[in-house]
């Protein structure tokens, strides 16, 4: 019994020594093969034919002056389709934000590819009634990673937010006082964009996939023209028709340069 305190002190000291000597855990990096073919996927915003510039006031097709303050969207299941009918998923889920660098690199098998598909939103199996607190904080579907793109009253992710302010006088220098906000989500509004992109890739090669989103086409798109003076808000449930027009316009705004 007399030796017990000495034994405990020894254990404590040993623990401290060994703990402090232990190497810091190295951050895990995905295994990479330097010879493997790679693709560099980028998603860049343009307004008409020029690069989109945050804070810039643009004219829409109705002659309204608009400024886009926030445009973010989940993109998912970004997949390359090869000539043999195989699919290669290069990204399962990501948060695209108009103000951020939206580029990533992925390794793919050598071969000939014909097209690319991109999901807009969160696929059904990851969307409704999923607990976002089960994801690690840096995951785009976590409570923090979602950056407010989550509905708590009808649990599921907001797929796309497109927000800004408008001036309907068309006068240069006039204040933009009228807000518009389009929040689109829920399973019926998930969209898959298919883009032709034929290429052949071999070992050690890197190919860029420069995808462009035409921001002007969100309001003046392939499917409908949205007047921000009339149709200025939807949270999907309050105006699902407008939500559909917005998401369809968004889906038609993708191209590869």
Partner 1 sequence: MNQWLFIFISLILLGCSDVPPLKEDGPYRYKKPSFFPEYQIPEDNKPTVLRVELGRRLFFEKRLSNSNSTSCASCHVSSMAFTDGKSISHGAHGRMGNRNAPTLANLLWSPHLMSEGGVKTLELQALGPIQDSSEMDMTMRNAEAQLADDVYLQNLSQAAYGRPLDAYVMIRALAVYQRSFISGDTRFDKYHFFKDTTAFNAQEKRGYDIFFSEKAACASCHQLPFFTDYKFYNIGLYENYADAGRQRVTYTANDNGKFKTPTLRNIEMTPPYMHDGSIRTLEDVVEFYNWGGKSHPNKDARIQKMNWTPQEKADLIAFLKTLTDWNFLQNHNFLPLQ
Region near partner 1 per CB under 8 A, out of 3-11, 51-59, 110-118, 213-221? 3-11
Nearest to 52, CA basis, from 244, 180, 228, 217: 217
- Is residue 2 at the binding interface for partner 1, with CB under 8 A as the rule? yes
Q: How far is the CB of 246 from partner 1 (least distance, A)?
A: 15
Contacting residue, 58, 113, 150, 250, with partner 1 by CB under 8 A:
150
In angstroms, the CA 215 to CA 47 distance is: 5
Q: How far is the CB of 177 from partner 1 (least distance, A)?
A: 21
Ranges of beta strands (E only) in the chain are 38-47, 50-51, 58-59, 65-82, 87-97, 103-107, 111-120, 150-151, 156-167, 178-185, 191-201, 206-214, 233-234, 254-256
Alpha helices in the chain (DSSP H): 4-21, 124-127, 240-251
Contacting residue, 100, 138, 153, 196, with partner 1 by CB under 8 A:
153
Query: Which residues, in sequence order, are bridge partners of residue 234?
Result: 182
- By beta-carbon proximity to partner 1, the closer residue of 109 and 148 is 148
Q: How far is the CB of 176 from partner 1 (least distance, A)?
A: 23
Q: How far is the CB of 244 from partner 1 (least distance, A)?
A: 10
In angstroms, the CA 99 to CA 25 distance is: 33
Which residues contact partner 1 (rule: CB under 8 A)?
2, 4-6, 8-9, 129, 131-134, 137, 143-144, 148, 150-155, 188, 237-238, 240
């Amino acid at each position: 019994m007399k030796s017990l305190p000495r034994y405990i002190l020894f254990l404590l000291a040993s623990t401290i020594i060994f703990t402090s000597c232990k190497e810091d855990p190295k951050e895990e990096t995905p295994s990479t093969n330097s010879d493997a073919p790679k693709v560099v996927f980028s998603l860049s915003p343009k307004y008409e034919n020029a690069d989109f510039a945050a804070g810039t006031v643009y004219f829409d097709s109705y002659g309204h002056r608009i400024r886009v303050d926030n445009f973010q969207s989940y993109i998912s299941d970004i997949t390359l389709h090869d000539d043999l009918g195989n699919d290669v998923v290069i990204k399962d889920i990501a948060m695209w934000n108009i103000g951020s660098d939206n580029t990533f690199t992925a390794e793919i098998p050598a071969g000939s590819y014909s097209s690319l598909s991109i999901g807009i939103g969160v696929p059904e199996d990851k969307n409704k009634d999923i607990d976002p607190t089960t994801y690690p904080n840096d995951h785009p579907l976590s409570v923090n990673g979602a950056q407010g793109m989550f509905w708590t009253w009808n649990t599921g992710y907001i797929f796309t937010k497109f927000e800004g302010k408008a001036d309907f006088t068309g006068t240069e220098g006039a204040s933009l006082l009228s807000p518009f906000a389009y929040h689109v989500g829920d399973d019926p509004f998930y969209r898959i964009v298919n883009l032709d992109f034929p290429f052949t890739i071999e070992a050690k090669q890197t190919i860029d996939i420069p995808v462009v989103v035409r921001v002007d086409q969100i309001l003046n798109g392939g499917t409908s023209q949205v007047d921000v003076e009339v149709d200025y808000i939807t949270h999907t449930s309050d105006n699902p028709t407008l939500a559909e027009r917005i998401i369809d316009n968004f889906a038609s705004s993708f191209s590869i340069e």
